A and B are shown apart, each in its own frame.
Chain A
Amino acid sequence: MSVKIMTLPISKLDIEKHYLDYTWLISGVLYEGGTDLLIPELMKRGINEAHFYNVAGSPIGRKAVAGVADSFDVEQFHVVVSADQAENVFDFIYRTCNLSQPNKGFINMNKLSRSTQLDLPDLNDTDTETEEMSD
């Protein structure tokens, strides 16, 4: 007598469902900082895909001694936005960061071939692990 053990097929993770192919990347440099204020404003508008870091550099016309910038607040930021919102967000950043003023910084925008979303964990979900709660 033989016993047949039934097994269920192993489900394969379809990760392509996480991909977006209609996003743009807005990048910019702010010579006097301010990305820490810009990003919460973007988050209020539902944009979570942003990060920034400090860089060295000087705007055109400002003195730099031996390649060392005189400001340590220079920040490079990147924001991923959907294609239909890209123009509006670009305009919003331009106005929020006063980029019409000289030596404030610059921004540019590029089309992305694909990207993923940053889904934030639900604060009411008590099962969320500490690692996942990290920023």
Chain B
Amino acid sequence: MKRSFTTLTEATLITAVVQSGYGEIITDALLEVGIQGSTIHAAMGVGIRERLGALGVAVDAEREVVTVMVSSDEVDRIFERIFLAAKLDVPGMGFMYATPLLQAATYVPPSILSKYVG
């Protein structure tokens, strides 16, 4: 069987480092705008914990990191969506960034692929 390899360009990886529990809120918000395939994992954050010194042990340092790969055309819309869902305009809630990708690859259904490949 002949195997083909399809690469995607003009893609951007959006990463949001948010409070524990907000990962699912973000993925739900992304689903509402038709974005599937986001990934959540745990991480350690930094911030007010270090400022508090010994009292900082009472502060939860656990973070959730949400990563989602989107088309570069849609970055504006999705970046805004995540920003609002994670309440990043509130101090201490987290931060996010968008990294342009040179190349990406995944399974692309033949029905979609046929629209772009002659």
Give the interface of A toward B (CB within 8 A). 13, 15, 18-19, 23, 25, 35-36, 39-40, 43, 48-53, 78, 80, 110-123, 128, 131-135
**Can you add 16 more A-B contacts, CB < 8 Å, to A51-B46, A113-B12?**
A15-B84, A43-B46, A43-B50, A50-B45, A53-B43, A110-B99, A113-B98, A113-B99, A117-B95, A118-B47, A118-B92, A120-B51, A123-B48, A128-B91, A134-B48, A134-B92
The one of B46, B52, B80 that contacts A39, using a Cβ cutoff of 8 Å: B46
Please indicate the chain B residues that have their CB under 8 angstroms from the CB of A121 in the complex. Answer: 48, 91-92
A-B contact count (CB 8 A): 117
User: What sequence of 0s and 1s flags, for each residue 82-93 of chain B, a beta carbon within 8 Å of any chain A beta carbon?
Assistant: 011000111111
A122 to B90, CA, bound (A): 12
Determine whether B17 belongs to the interface, using a CB cutoff of 8 Å to chain A. Answer: yes
Assess A120 versus B47: contact at CB under 8 Å? Given A51-B65, A111-B100.
yes
- Whether the pair B100, A18 counts as a contact (CB closer than 8 A) is no
- Whether the pair A123, B46 counts as a contact (CB closer than 8 A) is no
The one of A25, A39, A52 that contacts B97, using a Cβ cutoff of 8 Å: A25
The one of A115, A128, A134 that contacts B59, using a Cβ cutoff of 8 Å: A134
Please indicate the chain B residues that have their CB under 8 angstroms from the CB of A110 in the complex. Answer: 99
The one of A23, A43, A114, A120 that contacts B92, using a Cβ cutoff of 8 Å: A120
- Whether the pair A135, B46 counts as a contact (CB closer than 8 A) is yes
- Whether the pair B49, A135 counts as a contact (CB closer than 8 A) is yes
The one of A50, A113, A132, A133 that contacts B46, using a Cβ cutoff of 8 Å: A50
Please indicate the chain A residues that have their CB under 8 angstroms from the CB of B62 in the complex. Answer: 135
Assess A48 versus B100: contact at CB under 8 Å? Given A80-B95, A123-B52.
no
Assess A135 versus B89: contact at CB under 8 Å? Given A25-B97, A53-B65, A113-B99.
no
Please indicate the chain A residues that have their CB under 8 angstroms from the CB of B93 in the complex. Answer: 132
A13 to B89, CA, bound (A): 10
Give chain A nearest CB distance to B73 CB in angstroms: 12
Please indicate the chain B residues that have their CB under 8 angstroms from the CB of A113 in the complex. Answer: 12, 75, 98-100
Please indicate the chain A residues that have their CB under 8 angstroms from the CB of B61 in the complex. Answer: 135
